[in-house]
């Protein structure tokens, strides 16, 4: 099913508002979710709406949070999300970080006691749109076996980065510290497609191509990915005094309770380190240099980080956003949720 970006946003907003979010929060949340779908990151887009709606309806997301920003130093602060929607809290916290970085050159802002925040490159691009450089990391469910281990301990613990260029484009990185994000496996399930055997293991610890048999994910590049997910856990969990490692609650564990997740935004103002225009021109030059590198056999072109997303955006702007028929049918229905996520194991559908 193909829909316009505007139609998809309105459908998502309506569903989240019906579930219990305020109209303003539903609008922001819908914007973040459509951001993902419009870039082909369907694992963090509209397919998440029913889960969010069920958690909202059951009280596991505070629909009237007392958001508070506590500035802890000239360049630092903590955004208290009060169990509120993570998509909204992360955006509001980034606004605070942007203001600090513009004034003082650098900002480090933590978000504490939030719910799931979706595709976190939305927030780093939020800063890049203001001519700033940003890095963001966030906690997630314990569903990854550490290198050498057979039981999950860390989450997929994503990292996002964005920097502006001189022509409006952005270099963007948004990656899980696993070989693949859990949402991509959920998407494979929704499409009844197999997955590469390098993504995950089954209950016996053996590689699997069946997304329905996944019992744990694998860290990217073995010990290197393991080290990165540890770093993210420290920065967005331990640093903020929040649950960490296998103490982080599952997305599906008791949807009546707040999740207490954390996120850390680091924002840098290039003009405090170099000439801003030259910086942006050099980013543009970097993009061109990468595109002009002779491609390896089997490749038609070297892409700069985030370029594939740019190309998907252009395609979807022309042809509409492609979403699964079942998800569209849910979005246009009167059903808030089908009570299918509560108290499932971490690998629920």
The torsion angles phi and psi of 125, rounded to 5 degrees, stand at: -70, -30
Q: Tell me the helices (H) and strands (E) count for the chain, helix number first.
A: 10, 11
The torsion angles phi and psi of 69, rounded to 5 degrees, stand at: -105, 120
Active site residue 116: yes
Q: Are strands 216-217 and 200-201 parallel, antiparallel or unpaired?
A: antiparallel
Radius of gyration of the chain (CA): 20
The number of angstroms, rounded, from the C-alpha of 50 to the middle of its chain's C-alpha atoms is 17
Catalytically annotated residue among 17, 25, 42, 116? 116
Q: How far apart are alpha carbons 155 and 242 in whole angstroms?
A: 14
Tell me how far CA of residue 270 lies from CA of 81, 168, 319, in angstroms: 29, 16, 37
With vertex at residue 122, the alpha carbon angle to CA 346 and CA 26, rounded to the nearest 5 degrees, is 75
Catalytic residues: 116
């Amino acid at each position: 099913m193909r829909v316009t970006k505007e139609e998809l946003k309105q459908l998502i907003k309506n569903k989240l508002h019906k579930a219990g979010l305020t109209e303003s929060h539903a609008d922001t949340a819908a914007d973040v979710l459509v951001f993902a779908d419009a870039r082909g990151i369907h694992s963090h887009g509209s397919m998440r709406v029913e889960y969010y709606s069920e958690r909202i309806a059951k009280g596991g997301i505070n629909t009237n949070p007392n958001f508070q920003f506590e500035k802890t130093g000239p360049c630092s602060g903590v955004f208290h999300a009060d169990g509120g929607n993570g998509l909204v809290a992360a955006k509001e916290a980034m606004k605070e970080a942007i203001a600090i970085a513009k004034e003082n050159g650098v900002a480090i802002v933590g978000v504490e006691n939030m719910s799931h925040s979706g595709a976190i490159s939305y927030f780093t691009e939020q800063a890049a749109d203001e001519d700033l450089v940003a890095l963001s990391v966030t906690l997630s469910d314990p569903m990854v076996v550490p290198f050498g281990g057979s039981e999950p301990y860390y989450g997929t613990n994503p990292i996002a980065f964005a920097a502006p260029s001189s022509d409006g484009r952005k270099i963007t990185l948004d990656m899980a510290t696993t070989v693949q994000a859990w949402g991509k496996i959920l998407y494979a399930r929704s499409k009844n497609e197999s997955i590469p055997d390098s993504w995950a293991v089954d209950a016996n610890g053996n590689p699997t191509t069946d997304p329905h048999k996944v019992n744990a994910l694998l860290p990217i590049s073995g010990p290197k990915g393991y080290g990165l997910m540890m770093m993210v856990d420290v920065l967005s969990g331990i640093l903020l005094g929040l649950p960490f490692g296998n103490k982080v609650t599952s997305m599906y564990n008791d949807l009546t309770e707040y999740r207490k997740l954390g996120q850390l935004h680091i924002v840098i103002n290039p003009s405090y380190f170099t000439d801003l225009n030259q910086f942006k021109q050099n980013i543009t030059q970097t993009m061109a240099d990468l595109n002009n590198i002779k491609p390896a056999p089997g490749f038609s072109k070297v892409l700069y980080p985030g370029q594939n997303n740019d190309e998907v955006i252009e395609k979807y702007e022309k042809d509409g956003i492609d979403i699964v028929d079942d998800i569209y049918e849910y979005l246009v229905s009167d059903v808030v949720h089908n009570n299918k996520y509560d108290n499932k194991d971490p690998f629920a559908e």
